[in-house]
């Protein structure tokens, strides 16, 4: 027995010695560089690649058996441009397991890998890689390779280390200018076994033609089922630094459990945690039909964040608001779902401070990019979100509107037609309550649509200031020049808050109604205003214009006129010993009802008609107003029953002129048309003189002219005397 054991040990030692000698002979006697020509020839025939193995092939004996490769470059066919290259590569197996008939990989390393991918109108360079023989021959070769692979031994394989260092891949597309570089690519995997999960770390830098740069570091445990194209990264941690998209680089941290099954075309994301620039989003998402009609199901929740802190983190200026607490609490809660081929959030809830936006929104079709939404905003107070008043704004307000005009309008492109034309939108938004300054609106509804460059506001309605409003509009951006059409209707709203907001002055109160249709074309402020046209119907009832009393303006003009005919004043105004009309105590004008028809031409609104019933008369007229600088000019005819006590003034239409700027003092807007008042004065004074002479001469009749009065007077007195008296009276009249 002892002899047998001794023989067995000697035999084992001999086998080990022979194996050691064989390995030594292979690694030390056989020169692997002798295989260079054959390797290069096979690369040419099988892959259409021209290899240039510049470095030496070298054996490694202990503690691992392997081969290493130096600098090697590859070019496609006879192309001079470099397709791929590497600085060094090595593959090794453990020596001791070989002595027991086991193959155990020790490590794979690849350093300095470089790949250049070029795409263009004529195709991509990588499409030229592969056998260049006939199709049938190539298919036979491929089939033989598959058979050889399928009949090869299934050797359990564990690789203690796989390392790729300093890799670089560049992709360029000459057709669209895309230029993407992935560099500093490093990968390190330990105990790689396709039957068991193994740890993996990866880092790289991404850059493109837009100066976007992303530095990424991945740390995960990978379970790979190659046969079924099933990959699980659990847990997966990704840290990235993104630069170029914002002023300051942004750090992004992602944690998740990722399950990708390519055969089943599914992706499952569990325990998602995404943090970036002070925001945090958690959730779970399942994706099916990844390469077909994709469908998402899951839930995402973004924790409340402060918008200005996010802007600070990315290097942007904060949003200045009147309320310092505005935008300090923004959050989102979305349930993902929808039909296949869509991405919908329903229900969707977005919190903005004290406001809540809820409903549904998303892409109804990934193929067409159609955007749909149906949202409800419960309430919002806009005042807190407005920028604080600046000194320049206050100065401009104090200076009035005369600084405006077409010269102040911009000629810059206003409507982004190229961005609007591809839009396909169908959406609705309802607002329960909206407040702005002293104006509150409720039950607001908006509906918009967009397709083929035509955007429509199909509904805009609501209740406000005791009345209601509605509007619709269309922007046609499908052609060379954008065109806008719109119409609106306002019914019985209180005008006082509107006047206060527009003019910063409590100018008027009353019930206001209007309707209008408008159109304009162009793609700048100036072009739109210069082409604007429209028609407007206005009504104002039970109103008061503060600081302007048209009756007092009329009385002042009449009294000035009467001052020129002092001898006839008492005759014109019976019962007034002073010979003047008394002014009203009020400084305002009370309007019982006003209607007006206006038309818009460029930047001027022309009042073709203006008719109003006042508490002390009625007016009619026409004029214009510049809607840019708020200059206006109105010619008004006024009648007043207060002058009805005088038979000479009764029924007279008195010409008034109102002109100036809405930012000016109302008390200075209107005044009598002096020439018109003088003409009226001459007429009524002549009439009064005739009546006075007739009374003096005892002549009866209402329709006598001056000549007829003289003729009748000749029956009682000499014609010369009458002429003298008449001339003296008329002289006093016109002096």
Q: What is the pLDDT of residues 185-240, one digit of tens each?
A: 999 999 888 788 999 999 999 999 988 999 999 999 999 888 888 999 999 999 99
Say which residues have a Cβ less than 8 Å from residue 24's Cβ, sequence separation at least 6: 61
**More confidently predicted of 73 and 482:** 482
**More confidently predicted of 377 and 581:** 377
Interatomic CA distance for residues 298 and 285, integer angstroms: 4
Average pLDDT, the chain: 82
pLDDT of residue 486: 97
pLDDT of residue 33: 64
Lowest mean pLDDT among 358-367, 398-407, 450-459: 398-407
| Residue 372 confidence (pLDDT) above 80 | yes
Say which residues have a Cβ less than 8 Å from residue 735's Cβ, sequence separation at least 6: none
DSSP-assigned beta bridge partners for residue 334:
300, 348
Q: Rounded mean pLDDT of 257-285?
A: 95
Cα within 13 Å of Cα(247), Cβ side: 9
Q: Rounded mean pLDDT of 331-355?
A: 96
Lowest mean pLDDT among 58-72, 401-415, 676-690: 58-72
pLDDT of residue 489: 97
Strands 279-288 and 631-639: unpaired
Q: What is the pLDDT of residues 592-614, one digit of tens each?
A: 999 999 999 988 999 999 999 99
**More confidently predicted of 571 and 159:** 159
Confidence (pTM): 0.77
pLDDT of residue 107: 80
Lowest mean pLDDT among 116-125, 451-460, 716-725: 716-725
| Residue 26 confidence (pLDDT) above 50 | no
**More confidently predicted of 224 and 502:** 224
pLDDT of residue 682: 79
Say which residues have a Cβ less than 8 Å from residue 609's Cβ, sequence separation at least 6: 595, 596, 597, 620, 622
Dihedral, 139, 145, 148, 150 alpha carbons, nearest 10: -80
Name the residue among 665, 618, 622 with its Cα closest to residue 644.
618
Q: Rounded mean pLDDT of 326-330?
A: 96
Q: What confidence category does residue 398 fall into, taking pLDDT thresholds of 50, 70 and 90? A: very low
**More confidently predicted of 400 and 638:** 638
**More confidently predicted of 95 and 484:** 484
- What does the H/E/C string look like for 218-262? EEEEEEEECCCCEEEEEEEEEEEEEECCCCCCEEEEEEEEEEEEC
| Residue 246 confidence (pLDDT) above 70 | yes
Q: Rounded mean pLDDT of 357-363?
A: 97
| Cβ atoms within 10 Å, residue 292 | 10
Interatomic CA distance for residues 599 and 92, integer angstroms: 89
DSSP-assigned beta bridge partners for residue 273:
255, 282
Lowest mean pLDDT among 288-292, 496-500, 594-598, 722-726: 722-726
Q: Rounded mean pLDDT of 702-712?
A: 52
The pLDDT > 70 percentage for the chain reads 76
Name the residue among 398, 622, 672, 662 with its Cα closest to residue 507.
662
| Cβ atoms within 10 Å, residue 41 | 11
pLDDT of residue 421: 93
Interatomic CA distance for residues 205 and 393, integer angstroms: 47
**More confidently predicted of 100 and 187:** 187
């Amino acid at each position: 027995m002892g002899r047998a054991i001794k023989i067995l040990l000697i035999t084992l030692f001999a086998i080990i010695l022979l194996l050691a000698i064989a390995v030594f002979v292979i690694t030390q006697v056989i020169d692997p560089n002798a295989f260079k020509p054959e390797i290069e020839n096979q690369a040419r025939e099988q892959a259409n690649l021209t290899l240039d193995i510049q470095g030496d092939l070298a054996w490694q004996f202990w503690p691992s058996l392997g081969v290493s490769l130096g600098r090697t470059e590859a070019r496609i066919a006879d192309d001079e441009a470099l397709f791929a290259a590497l600085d060094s590569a090595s593959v090794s197996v453990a020596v001791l397991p070989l002595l027991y008939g086991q193959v155990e990989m020790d490590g794979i390393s690849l350093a300095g890998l470089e790949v250049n991918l070029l795409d263009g109108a004529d195709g991509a360079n990588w499409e030229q890689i592969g056998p260049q023989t006939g199709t049938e021959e190539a298919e036979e070769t491929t089939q033989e390779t598959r058979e050889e692979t399928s009949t090869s031994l299934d050797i359990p394989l564990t690789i203690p280390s796989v390392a790729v260092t300093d890799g670089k891949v560049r992709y360029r597309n000459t057709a669209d200018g895309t230029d993407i570089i992935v560099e500093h690519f490093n990968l390190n995997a330990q105990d790689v076994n396709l039957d068991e999960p193994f740890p993996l770390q990866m880092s790289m830098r991404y850059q493109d033609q837009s100066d976007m740069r992303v530095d990424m570091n991945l740390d995960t445990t990978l379970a790979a089922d190659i046969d079924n194209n099933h990959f699980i990264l659990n847990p997966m941690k990704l840290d990235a630094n993104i630069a170029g998209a914002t002023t300051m680089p942004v750090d992004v941290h992602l944690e998740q459990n990722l399950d990708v099954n390519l055969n089943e075309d599914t992706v499952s994301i569990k325990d998602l945690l995404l943090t970036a620039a002070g925001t945090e989003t958690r959730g779970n998402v399942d994706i099916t039909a990844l390469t077909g009609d994709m469908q998402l199901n899951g839930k995402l929740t973004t924790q409340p964040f402060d918008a200005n802190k996010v802007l600070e983190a990315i290097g942007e200026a904060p949003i200045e608001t009147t309320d310092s607490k505005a935008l300090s609490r923004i959050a989102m809660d979305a349930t993902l779902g929808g039909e296949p081929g869509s991405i919908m959030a329903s229900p969707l809830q977005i919190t903005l401070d004290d406001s809540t936006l809820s409903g549904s929104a998303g892409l109804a079709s990934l193929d067409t990019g159609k955007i749909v939404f149906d949202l409800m905003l419960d309430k919002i107070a806009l005042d807190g979100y407005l920028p604080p008043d600046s000194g320049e704004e206050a100065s401009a307000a104090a200076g009035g509107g005369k600084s405006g005009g077409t010269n102040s309008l911009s000629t810059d492109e206003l409507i982004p037609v190229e961005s609007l034309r591809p839009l396909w939108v169908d959406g609705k938004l309802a607002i329960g309550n909206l407040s702005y300054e002293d104006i509150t609106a409720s039950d607001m509804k908006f509906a918009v649509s967009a397709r083929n460059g035509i955007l429509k506001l199909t509904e805009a309605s609501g209740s406000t200031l005791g009345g209601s409003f509605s509007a619709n509009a269309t922007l046609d951006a499908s052609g060379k020049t954008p065109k806008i059409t719109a119409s609106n209707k306002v019914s019985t709203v209180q005008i006082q808050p509107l006047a206060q907001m527009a003019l910063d002055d409590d100018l008027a109160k009353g019930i206001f109604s209007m309707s209008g249709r408008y159109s304009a074309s162009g793609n700048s402020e100036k072009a739109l205003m210069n082409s604007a046209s429209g028609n407007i119907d206005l009504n104002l009832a039970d109103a008061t214009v503060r600081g302007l009393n048209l009756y007092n303006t009329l009385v002042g003009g009449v009294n000035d006129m009467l001052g020129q005919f002092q001898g006839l004043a008492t005759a014109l105004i019976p019962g007034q010993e002073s010979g003047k009309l008394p002014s009203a105590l009020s400084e305002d004008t009370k309007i019982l009802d006003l209607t007006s028809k206006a038309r818009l031409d460029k930047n001027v609104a022309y009042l073709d008609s203006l008719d109003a019933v006042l508490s002390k008369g009625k007016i009619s007229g026409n004029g214009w107003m510049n809607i840019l600088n708020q200059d206006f000019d109105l010619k008004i005819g006024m009648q007043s029953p207060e002058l009805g006590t005088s038979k000479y003034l009764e029924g007279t239409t008195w010409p008034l002129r109102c002109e100036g700027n809405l930012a000016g003092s109302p008390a200075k807007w209107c005044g009598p048309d002096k020439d018109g008042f003088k003409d009226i004065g001459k007429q009524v004074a002549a009439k009064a003189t005739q009546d006075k002479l007739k009374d003096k001469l005892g002549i009866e009749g209402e329709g006598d002219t001056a000549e007829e009065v003289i003729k009748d007077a000749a029956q009682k007195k000499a014609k010369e005397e009458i002429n003298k008296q008449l001339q003296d009276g008329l002289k006093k009249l016109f002096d």
